[in-house]
Amino acid sequence: MILGSGWGGFKLIRETDKEKYQVVAVSPRNHFLFTPLLASTSVGTLEFRCITEPVRAYTGDVEYHQAWCDTIDFDKHKVACTLNLATSPETVDTPQHVELQYDHLIISVGSYSNTFNIPGVKEHGFFLKEVSDARKIRQRVLECFERAEMAKTDQEKNDLLHFAVVGGGPTGVEFSSELHDFIREDCSRLFPSLMNHVTLAVYDVAPKILASFDQSLSEYCMTKFRRSGIEVRTETVIDRVEDGRLLLKGGQEVKFGCLVWSTGLTENPLVAALEGQVMKSRNRRILTDEYLRVLDPQGKIIPNVYALGDCATIKDHEVPQTAQVANQQAIWLRKALNTMAKRPEKDMTEITKPFSFKNMGTMAYIGNWEAVVDMTTLNKEAKESGHMAWVFWRSSYLTMSVSLRNKMLIPMYWLTTWLFGRDVSSFQVYDRRHREAIGSRTNTHVV
Ligand SMILES: Cc1cc2nc3c(=O)[nH]c(=O)nc-3n(C[C@H](O)[C@H](O)[C@H](O)COP(=O)(O)OP(=O)(O)OC[C@H]3O[C@@H](n4cnc5c(N)ncnc54)[C@H](O)[C@@H]3O)c2cc1C
């Protein structure tokens, strides 16, 4: 049984040997999401469907349940789940529960965005974790421009067109860059009179952005951002968020039209529910041994239960919460499980070496066809910034995307965006009016 269809789970769902195992997948999200290109979809550089892979398309021989796993009983080998299905977008169904039995369990449920309990973030900020988040951001950005177009005063326009990104890690930087490209290349054409009112700022508590990158690359990004007009507000602490207002420590207030929050990760509710059943790290991730086997609170291995990806880390060998780690772990576990099935009499430690993470480096898009690539973990000299790095960034993600369909769609959308600009259609309001209108007409009988 595999919990989750993300970077860890999806690979295992696809590649576990179905001749040897009956694979059951449980995930509330019925698709895999290629997260490195999610920021591109939030402004329309790419369309949402070219970065997703439906689980069903790969699960002819897999039993799939579109459900949340709520609790796990390790003694009885059972998981309790709630179906993630609604009959119509307007109704909230009575939750439907199912219990499922497993022999081997793989937990790869990922993590949630961390708000550090700062009041108002959940209510007034946008996150960037799922396709639904990217859709909401895209709609809000367009709404800000449309509202500003009708605003009466310059102050109102300035407030609506201040875009605030909190978190200067790779996700925050990539989103800011994509948004800056969108404003410069498309909004300047569509809303020319508003351009003087637009401001974009990245806020971070740390003294620099892209702090995990080589220092020269982090500085390159900060200089480039400042030159492009993106304000970099480092060493800035956010105290509170209110509707359209950021309140900074020290009393300063900043009005915004759209706030995107990207400051780190916290535990998934399932992992929180496993309190007292598994050993956890300081940052609330499930602890495993080097064979990805989950440990109980006393440090003993829980038989046939594995955890990988963002929700877990290895005892005494902390691994980062990246797709690269989840992907390498999934490949390692798939090989180990497939070999174990052929030699069931052997212990895992006898058939494979422990998992070890090979850091292949990191990259980030920094706007205007430039990127930074840091591979100094492999070779001290291996770092690049600018247009060449951008070519490397794009070709790497194109190569890594999963299906042939998406390998074709992604460059097609890149080309379309370059030739014709990003699509600025928004669909939300029309649908509600349409339903209301249909509702009122069906009650009228015309003779
Ligand atoms: C915008 C963005 C950009 C990123 N860019 C990069 C990058 O360039 N390079 C990189 O290495 N990493 C990147 N990351 C990080 C990377 O996406 C994560 O580290 C990776 O997704 C972790 O994989 P995972 O399988 O652990 O979790 P996820 O991919 O998050 O998958 C978790 C799965 O579990 C499911 N799930 C959740 N709760 C339950 C439950 N209760 N029961 C069952 N299933 C459940 C979810 O629906 C999902 O299918 C990025 C992340 C984001 C958000």
CATH value at residue 347: 3.50.50.60
- Does 329 sit in the ligand 1 pocket, CB within 6 Å? no
Residue at 51 is within a domain: no
What is the per-residue pLDDT across 160-169, written as a single tens digit (0 to 9) for each?
Answer: 999 999 999 9
Q: Which of 124-133, 232-241, 376-385 has the lowest mean pLDDT?
A: 376-385
Tokens 């059972």 locate to 78
Mutation probe of ligand 1 site: the residue of 105, 133, 322 with most atoms within 8 A of C-beta: 322
Which domain covers residue 16, as residue numbers? 2-30+66-113+265-351
The candidate with the shortest Cα–Cα distance to 374, out of 214, 168, 225, 216, is 214
Tokens at residue 286, please?
């499930």
CATH number of the CATH domain containing 391: 3.50.50.100
Say whether both 338 and 304 belong to one domain: yes
**Distance between CA 65 and CA 67 in Å, rounded?**
6
What is the average per-residue pLDDT within 300-309? 97
Residue at 45 is within a domain: no
**Distance between CA 142 and CA 148 in Å, rounded?**
10
Residue at 189 is within a domain: yes
Say whether both 226 and 281 belong to one domain: no
| DSSP string computed for 61-75 | TSEEE-EEEEEEETT
Q: Which of 116-125, 152-161, 241-250, 421-430 has the lowest mean pLDDT?
A: 421-430
Residue at 429 is within a domain: no
What is the CA(111)–ligand 1 centre distance, in A?
7
Q: What percent of the chain has pLDDT over 90?
A: 87
Structurally, the chain folds into a number of domains equal to 2
Residue at 43 is within a domain: no
Say whether both 259 and 271 belong to one domain: no
What is the CA(110)–ligand 1 centre distance, in A?
5
Q: Is the pLDDT of residue 59 over 80?
A: no
What is the per-residue pLDDT across 171-191, written as a single tens digit (0 to 9) for each?
Answer: 999 999 999 999 999 999 999
Say whether both 143 and 210 belong to one domain: yes
Say whether both 232 and 373 belong to one domain: yes
Mutation probe of ligand 1 site: the residue of 176, 310, 311, 324 with most atoms within 8 A of C-beta: 310
Beta pairing, strands 199-203 & 162-166:
parallel
Tokens 């304000």 locate to 231
**Distance between CA 172 and CA 109 in Å, rounded?**
22
What is the per-residue pLDDT across 348-364, written as a single tens digit (0 to 9) for each?
Answer: 999 999 999 999 999 99
**Distance between CA 425 and CA 321 in Å, rounded?**
34
Say whether both 377 and 333 belong to one domain: no
What is the per-residue pLDDT across 341-399, written as a single tens digit (0 to 9) for each?
Answer: 988 888 899 999 999 999 999 999 999 999 999 999 898 889 999 999 999 999 999 99
Atom of ligand 1 nearest to the CA of 310: 26
- Does 7 sit in the ligand 1 pocket, CB within 6 Å? yes
- Does 167 sit in the ligand 1 pocket, CB within 6 Å? no
Say whether both 125 and 202 belong to one domain: yes
Residue at 41 is within a domain: no
What is the per-residue pLDDT across 20-55, written as a single tens digit (0 to 9) for each?
Answer: 999 999 999 999 999 999 999 999 999 999 999 999
**Distance between CA 401 and CA 1 in Å, rounded?**
25
Q: Is the pLDDT of residue 428 over 70?
A: no
Say whether both 194 and 76 belong to one domain: no
Say whether both 214 and 132 belong to one domain: yes
Mutation probe of ligand 1 site: the residue of 35, 65, 176, 268 with most atoms within 8 A of C-beta: 35
Say whether both 103 and 144 belong to one domain: no
Say whether both 83 and 214 belong to one domain: no
Residue at 357 is within a domain: no
8 A C-beta contact, residue 15 and residue 334: yes
What is the average per-residue pLDDT within 280-303? 96
Residue at 446 is within a domain: no
Confidence at residue 431, expressed as pLDDT on a 0 to 100 scale: 64
Mean pLDDT over each residue of the chain, to the nearest integer: 93
Tokens 């339903």 locate to 435
SS3 12: helix
Say whether both 16 and 151 belong to one domain: no
Confidence at residue 128, expressed as pLDDT on a 0 to 100 scale: 96
